[in-house]
Amino acid sequence: MDIGRNTWQKQLIIDTLKREKNHPTISDLYDKIKAVDDKVGQATVYRNVNKLVEEKKIKRIMTDSGFRYDCDCNDHYHLECNKCGNIIDLYDEKYIRLIRRLEDEYSIKIEESKILFSGICDKCLNYERKSSSIN
């Protein structure tokens, strides 16, 4: 894999993703970048996002609603909320140990895993609880 140079456009994408905690879609990401620097075109953002994914500097997450993006490339799960659509990062040391155990047991190298849970986030659950206690 050819690791390309880190241009200011790529850095702008990474910086924007670091500020965005909700794993934006590519169009959401473009809108955020356009608000910061209106000289950056849509094709530039799309091309550089794809390069960053190839370079493993950001992750592309396949969800029921389409692709979302994450700048945290550490091993972790995601939960997509069925109510609000937010993507939540889930960290578990057992997950990392499972990957290592599978690598050892099968003499393989796992380069990436994609686990997406579907459920309801804490904010939506709390809202539902408050709403049901009012009624």
Last residue of a domain, one of 46, 72, 98: 72
Over residues 56-85, the mean pLDDT reads 93
Q: Beta-strand (E) ranges in the chain?
A: 59-63, 66-70, 77-81, 87-90, 116-119
Over residues 86-101, the mean pLDDT reads 93
Residues 118 and 92 in one domain: yes
Residues 79 and 63 in one domain: no
Say how many domains are in the chain. 2
Residues 83 and 65 in one domain: no
Convert the pLDDT of each residue in 23-63 to its tens digit: 999 999 999 999 999 999 999 999 999 999 999 999 999 99
Q: Is the pTM of this model over 0.85?
A: no
Residues 10 and 43 in one domain: yes
Regarding predicted confidence, which is higher, 65 or 34? 34
Q: What is the CATH number of the domain that holds 43?
A: 1.10.10.10
Residues with Cβ within 8 Å of residue 134, at least 6 apart in sequence? none
Q: How far is CA 13 from CA 4, 65, 92, in A?
A: 15, 21, 27
| Domain coverage including residue 92 | 74-135
Q: Cα–Cα distance between 19 and 21 in angstroms, integer?
A: 6
